[in-house]
Amino acid sequence: MEEAQRRALRRGRARLVAALRVAPLWDPLRERGLFTPAMVEELQSAGSRGEQARQLVIDLETRGKQAFPIFLSILRDTGQGDLADMLMEECGCPPALAQPVDLRPVALNLRGEKHTKSVNFPERLSVPVQAESERPRMLPTPARGLVVDKRNGDLVYEVKADPCGHCLILNNVNFSRDSDLSTRDGSDVDCEKLEKRFKALRFDVVTRRDLKAQEMVLELQKLARRDHGASDCCVVVILSHGCQTSHIQFPGGVYGTDGKPIPIEKIVNYFNGSHCPSLRGKPKLFFIQACGGEQRDRGFVVDCDSPGDGAPGGSLESDATPFRTPSGNVDEPDAVASLPTPSDILVSYSTFPGFVSWREVSSGSWYVDTLDSVLEQYARSEDLLNMLLRVANAVSAKGRYKQIPGCFNFLRKKFFFACK
């Protein structure tokens, strides 16, 4: 959904809560595919008509690019065209931008020719359509080279190698019975997304699935001991259950399939300057999809102009487990707690330390799904820290329970991915 459309929903929320007749909306919302039957039932159970209306407006922001124009169409079909007109005024954008149409098919290419890709309009869409010649021209996403010209070169990591580095993805889905850890349904969805994304970002991607703690350690050490002389960076992604652990530098831990935890700081320190000389001065990026603890955050009430929360779609699970003291047999001699201050390292966590991280069976975790989407849209033009702010902002607006990703940043420069 366009940001202008999100703002329109937030600004118009008070009026919608006061005037929206929700009863006629449920059937068309299901029929037009905006919400599943289960999601509609959850909305209907929100309480009074006003509470149902408020939750519906909040949830619309999470339903994709076509949600806004289809909702306007449904409003008009159910005799609530005045509310549709109000939202259009709040949107402050041409009608064409409110339609589920990718404007790229009518954008001009570098030779001035128009694309002829066909587009499908939603059934019964009553929002007026602009003629092709009247549609605003879409500016192309700036090429990475154009952005570099405007940056201070000595504050940007050099990423020119192809492949630019190694990416290791550890994906734990099935855990042993005596571990008391549940199957992480939906994690394979996360894994597939990130495999494709980092390959598109010119990484040599290796994936390992369902590893015990010691097997995870061996894979991490194997990567750390490689010669990274020809690489410009390194990425480690861990998808698993997580917990709180005692720590000095980086909080949290992740579990092997045998239920034994590995502290995040141990993982990070395998790659620091003293243990991985060929990565000295090069960015080392860690993305952790795991719970930081068992606390569940219900958030706090916001006013109509503040970002709303969105309801999850499908089955919702967390990757939380109780606090445990790290198991001594996982630590290796070259992964001691007392190490030099790390540099050129960034650890991105899916959630705040101590809190759970949410995952949906059908679409994967909130964090990975959002990270993948942000990388797809902005990796060509924005640095990593700016994109992680986008991820945090988007994830924080999801669900009845709340989640806020964050990072421990020890990078010395800006990091821009090299896109194909």
Could you report the per-residue pLDDT of 87-132, keeping only the tens digit for each? Answer: 888 887 544 444 443 433 334 344 444 444 444 434 333 334 333 3
DSSP classification of residue 97: G
pLDDT of 73 above 50: yes
Render pLDDT for 136-175 as a digit per residue (tens, 0 to 9): 333 344 444 444 444 456 689 999 999 999 999 999 999 9
Element (H, E) at 289: strand 284-289
Element (H, E) at 17: helix 13-19
The identity of residue 325, as a single letter, is T
The identity of residue 203, as a single letter, is F
Render pLDDT for 241-275 as a digit per residue (tens, 0 to 9): 988 777 777 888 999 999 999 999 999 999 988 88
Residue range(s) occupied by CATH 3.40.50.1460 in the chain: 153-410
pLDDT of 352 above 80: no
Average the pLDDT over 282-286 and give the result.
96
For the 153-410 domain, the top CATH level (class) is: alpha beta
d(CA 158, CA 155) in angstroms, rounded, equals 9
| Closest of 371, 369, 377, 370 to residue 104, by C-alpha | 377
Phi/psi-derived region of residue 281, left when phi > 0, alpha when psi is between -120 and 50, beta in every other case? left
Which residues are tagged catalytic? 241, 291
| 3 state SS of 360 | strand
Helix axes 81-91, 67-77, angle to 10 degrees: 150
Residue 339: per-residue pLDDT? 33
Cis omega (within 30 of 0) on the bond before 163?
yes
- Strand 284-289 vs strand 345-349: parallel, antiparallel, or unpaired? parallel
Give percent of the chain above pLDDT 70.
Answer: 71
Residue range(s) occupied by CATH 1.10.533.10 in the chain: 3-99
Q: In what order do the strands lie in the sheet with 203-209?
A: 203-209, 165-171, 233-239, 284-289, 345-349, 406-410
Residue 170: per-residue pLDDT? 97
**128-132, 293-297, 326-330, 342-346: which is most confident:** 342-346
Average the pLDDT over 273-291 and give the result.
90
State whether CATH 1.10.533.10 applies to domain 3-99.
yes
> Is this structure's pTM higher than 0.85?
no
